[in-house]
Structure 1
């Protein structure tokens, strides 16, 4: 089940962080966050496609950079019940924004070199970042913070954020297919429409409309559109953005969303922690979004504490938990970068795929 709030993109004046040479990240021994994957490099025994850094090592990569956000920014960007502080921004998101800036600038250099090789000129197309993770893990906050941070780099002042919620089938169609309890599962999305949207953005089309989803109505808004107008960066955030391509009946494979990504991030945590965060968020929504008489889940606002915990736990056990185990968690090893969270929502380590 997809239940949450939508934060409209916020325009801000570019304030460029003072950059400094970024040291080569040290490789810190440890195990990858998915079962069965090899541990980080240990020269005498093991090799891994990822470099793993604990929080302290990751934070040191941005020690000489200025903090671009203030407390008001953090309060505005923080999700319900999530841990986000100025310290978290400085130690986690500032190094990440610098890393992404390196990727963006080198993509521009590669495009220029390719143009020279081909003897022609192609326009710059948006750098696309996919952000994946479970319901309630904090991926929306991660996406919003990155949008705000990347806007403050001189090379990426125009950053747009689109969630895949808008590409869910309308409730009427989900009911027709008997899939209302599968909302958030891969089959509940208009995959073809989503692929077409990302393809058109990456192709450099001047204006590409995206459908809008209302978390109050719990449905697509039929007469609303968000238009993406050739930004420097597009952040695409959603549960299933790292799903592999589907295999057709004839054995051939189609396109995957990640085929169009220049960078991808998976926000990770223990499933028991995510379940608790979901229940906590549900409890807060009773007096927030659910209190709106027009809200789809308004009936939940009248539940007692005990009833609300039972309802949230039931939704998790039947819908969100299985979706995490069956569809979302298996895609984390496809990400370029994995952010692992502790039980207080703070990021404790980062794994970055080697180049």
Structure 2
């Protein structure tokens, strides 16, 4: 009976790289008892074979999607009857993990994709629980900022009895600490990424640095809007941004245009194209979404839902963003198919009390 095949030096080297994609050639040589030139030769051959990618020795199936931005605790108060301003109203409360970047990361983790979240939380019970919950789903949070002198952010939403948002209050001050210095510290975590997804809770200087970084590297940068007031953080130069996801109000705030007609929407898209943006998705509530298709702005309707199945709207936009980047992670070019997956994930979230639906699974990608 033949003996099992002994692993070659190249196989052993690949195993070490898989365990630590940032290992140096000298460390590989020391652990394998090889010369550094021999290690360099093996790495060159593995790169030619497509079994690792580039200088970071990243395995192609392990390229993560890096999500950068806010994490907070979501508190949702849903009125039990018609709400009256200036008075106490009976309500039902639900708490769940939240934050745009964190929500997108959880959606991606539940889809079974490799995801790395870079965020800021406090060293309080809420912050530690939020990181632990995401890590339990397989997401990597290494490098995230944990502040001892500030609480974890919060988002409080007041919903009407139908689940529609009336007003929301967000304390996201901790996200301002994700500055260019934080980017420099977390460069190794972003280096292997195929896609970087950043929300507009980030400071203006951080967003500028991410755009510059995307232009220098072979990476795709997707920016996700969070509110109309924070559109000013984006600036006018959109070179380096592969995809921008926002809603109609945020697009109006960004372009300074009233978007009540098809011609106005097309003019807004052309304006952003001239600023350097490559692709655009605009969510449009019950009407579905609009997405750029060449010079045109195409429409896609949402899946039909029984109104009685809709729980509330919080997190649906983040699920849509996650579905879009999940599909583009597999196929860079098919934005139409990516939008279809995004709408499917959003529909599942609308039917859940949680900000991220527990019905998500890798089966949705097949």
Category of TM-score, reference length = shorter chain: under 0.3
Higher relative contact order (CA 8 A, sep 6+): 1
* TM-score calculated relative to the size of structure 2: 0.26
Structure with the largest fraction of strand: 2
* TM-score calculated relative to the size of structure 1: 0.27
